[in-house]
């Protein structure tokens, strides 16, 4: 019987902070749509589309640089500060009078989120060391996102009946401040030491280099394209398909979105059990296959009952791909590089969405829903096939490899790679001084780092 990660008070407080912040963000999503309608009327869709593109730009471009900049800062201070900054931005939204102000504030909000999310995700494995507990923690985190997708719009609809939608922004401000207060109560582990002479630009690119040099992570990136292709079809075109193609009311749009969240929640609950039977690779590829087939079945122009089933299956497949991601990243890098690698995943995965969002909208508007279903389904199917080829079938964490003789200078402790003489001036470990590595052949868990620059 695996003890729940919620039994650890540190994780419990961090998870509560995540849930509360996500719930507030969901309220702002609804309120922002209503604000855009107030300011732009029939052009609200265009306003929200551009704002969503700005969000993706913030995630893709800003995240690696923020991660590099804050790498040496105390994590708790960083998380609290970013929560407070997000609260300040949302607090200004009720007083917006121009569309450009929406763009500016949405961009700023997501710049701070682009810093918060990877640091938050990279902190969890420092707290939950047990593999099975960590898998459950990942499932809970996925569940939190799904609950936000399901419950926040429903809560927003109920609240709007009682108050002006601008109050939703104030509730989100309160949610971010409560999240910050919960993070303050947590004492986070000290980060591993990093080389002090590494430049900002090297730190900013380190996570991307590790990510793209690791075969399983390249496979993961292609699977992120599967998720983005299906997700963009669902998010962008559900309202058009249900309201225009099927001629149904708004309640059916809400049910379609709820179907995705319901499927994802079910899979998130099941992932800890699935991963005891299957590898991450098999689980995620099966999820990609479910997504691809579901989108391609949209070519049959399904009635609403069938559409709900397809959207439910997309939710299942999405969760099968995304829930194990944290575990995969943790196993694929050194602890010192974990924030940078999580930031790389955050940035690169959102680059897929940056491609998929406008493509889904353009295909649906220019060529119709069947074409959108077909093209995005084929992109998803092609991406699953590529992931299966890129990600080694027998993916081993421990690999035999050879080190050539090398002399360099960096922060280190005396582990199996550092067995050398001292002259008495080097100081306590970890320390930095010029040292030589002799040629060596051995086996251990392999990740890309200073001593392993290439995959064997």
Domain total in the chain: 2
Query: Peptide bond preceding 302: is omega within 30 degrees of 0, i.e. cis?
Result: no
Same domain, 370 and 230: yes
Give the residue from 393, 411, 437 where a domain finishes: 393
pLDDT at 142 (0 to 100) = 62
The answer to whether position 445 is within a domain reads: no
**Residue numbers of the chain with a pLDDT score lower than 70:** 1-2, 30, 33, 37, 41-49, 63-64, 67-68, 70-71, 139, 142-143, 145-158, 160-161, 189-204, 250, 254, 398-413, 415-430, 432, 437-444, 446, 449-453, 455
pLDDT at 152 (0 to 100) = 61
pLDDT at 450 (0 to 100) = 65
Q: How far apart are the first and last CA of the chain?
A: 38
The answer to whether position 27 is within a domain reads: yes
> What is the per-residue DSSP string for 360-392?
HHHHHHHH-HHHHHHHHHHHHHHHHHHHHHHS-
The answer to whether position 156 is within a domain reads: yes
Give the residue from 374, 393, 412 where a domain finishes: 393
Distance in angstroms (rounded) separating the CA atoms of residues 317 and 350? 18
Same domain, 176 and 245: no
Same domain, 303 and 175: no
Question: What does the longest C-alpha to C-alpha distance in the chain come to?
Answer: 81
Same domain, 296 and 368: yes
The answer to whether position 346 is within a domain reads: yes
The answer to whether position 349 is within a domain reads: yes
Which residues have CB under 8 Å from 314's CB, separation 6+? 230, 231, 234, 260, 263, 290, 291, 294, 295
Same domain, 313 and 361: yes
Same domain, 133 and 235: no
> Does the global pTM surpass 0.75?
no
Same domain, 149 and 58: yes
pLDDT at 200 (0 to 100) = 47
pLDDT at 219 (0 to 100) = 96
Same domain, 287 and 379: yes
The answer to whether position 204 is within a domain reads: no
189-to-11, 299, 326 alpha-carbon distances in Å: 12, 51, 18
Of 410, 399, 413, 408, nearest in space to 441 by CA: 399
Give the residue from 170, 188, 206 where a domain finishes: 188
The answer to whether position 421 is within a domain reads: no
Same domain, 38 and 176: yes
Same domain, 184 and 50: yes
Distance in angstroms (rounded) separating the CA atoms of residues 70 and 117? 13
Task: Give the CATH number for residue 39.
Answer: 1.20.1250.20
The answer to whether position 418 is within a domain reads: no
The per-residue pLDDT for range 164-196, each reduced to its tens digit, is 878 889 999 999 999 999 999 988 765 544 444
> What is the per-residue DSSP string for 230-297?
HHHHHHHHHHHIIIIIS---HHHHHHHHHHHHHHHHHHHHHHHHHHHHS-HHHHHHHHHHHHHHHHHG
Same domain, 256 and 315: yes
| Residue 65 lies in domain | 7-188
pLDDT at 318 (0 to 100) = 93
Same domain, 300 and 227: yes
pLDDT at 285 (0 to 100) = 97
């Amino acid at each position: 019987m695996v003890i729940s990660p919620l039994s650890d008070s540190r994780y419990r407080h961090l998870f509560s902070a995540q849930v509360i912040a996500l719930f507030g963000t969901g309220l702002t999503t609804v309120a922002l749509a209503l604000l855009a309608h107030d300011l732009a009327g029939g052009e609200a869709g265009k306003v929200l589309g551009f704002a969503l593109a700005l969000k993706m730009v913030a995630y893709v471009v800003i995240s690696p640089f923020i991660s590099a900049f804050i790498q040496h800062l105390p994590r708790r201070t960083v998380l609290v500060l970013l929560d407070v900054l997000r609260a300040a931005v949302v607090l200004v939204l009720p007083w917006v009078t121009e569309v450009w102000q929406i763009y500016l504030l949405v961009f700023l909000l997501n710049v701070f989120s682009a810093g918060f999310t990877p640091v938050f995700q990279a902190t969890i494995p420092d707290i939950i060391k047990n593999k099975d507990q960590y898998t459950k923690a990942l499932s809970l985190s996925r569940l939190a996102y799904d609950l936000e997708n399901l419950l926040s719009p429903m809560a927003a609809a109920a609240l709007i009946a009682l108050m002006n939608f601008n109050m939703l922004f104030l509730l989100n401000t309160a949610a971010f401040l409560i999240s910050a207060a919960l993070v303050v109560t947590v004492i986070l582990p000290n980060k591993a030491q990093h080389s002090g002479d590494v430049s900002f630009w090297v730190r900013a690119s380190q996570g991307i280099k590790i990510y793209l040099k690791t075969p399983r992570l390249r496979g993961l990136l292609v699977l992120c394209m599967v998720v983005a292709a299906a997700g963009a079809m669902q998010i962008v075109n559900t309202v058009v398909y249900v309201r225009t193609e099927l001629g149904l009311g708004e309640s059916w749009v809400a049910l379609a979105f709820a179907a995705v969240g319901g499927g994802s929640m079910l899979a998130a609950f099941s992932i800890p059990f699935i991963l005891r039977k299957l590898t991450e690779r098999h689980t995620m590829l099966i999820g990609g296959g479910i997504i691809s087939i579901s989108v391609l079945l949209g070519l049959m122009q399904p009635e609403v009952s069938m559409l709900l089933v397809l959207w439910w299956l997309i939710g299942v497949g999405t969760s099968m791909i995304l829930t194990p991601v944290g575990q995969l990243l943790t196993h694929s890098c050194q602890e010192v590089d974990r924030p940078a690698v999580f930031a790389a995943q955050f940035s690169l995965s959102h680059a897929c969405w940056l491609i998929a969002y406008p493509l889904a909208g353009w295909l649906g508007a220019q060529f119709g829903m069947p074409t959108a279903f077909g093209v995005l389904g084929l992109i998803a199917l092609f991406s699953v096939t590529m992931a299966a080829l890129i990600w080694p079938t027998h993916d081993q964490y421990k690999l035999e490899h050879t080190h050539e003789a090398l002399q360099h200078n960096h922060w280190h402790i005396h582990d199996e790679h550092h067995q050398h003489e001292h002259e008495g001036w080097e100081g306590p470990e970890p320390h930095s001084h010029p040292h030589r590595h002799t040629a060596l052949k051995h086996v251990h868990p392999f990740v890309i780092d200073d001593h392993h620059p290439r995959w064997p």
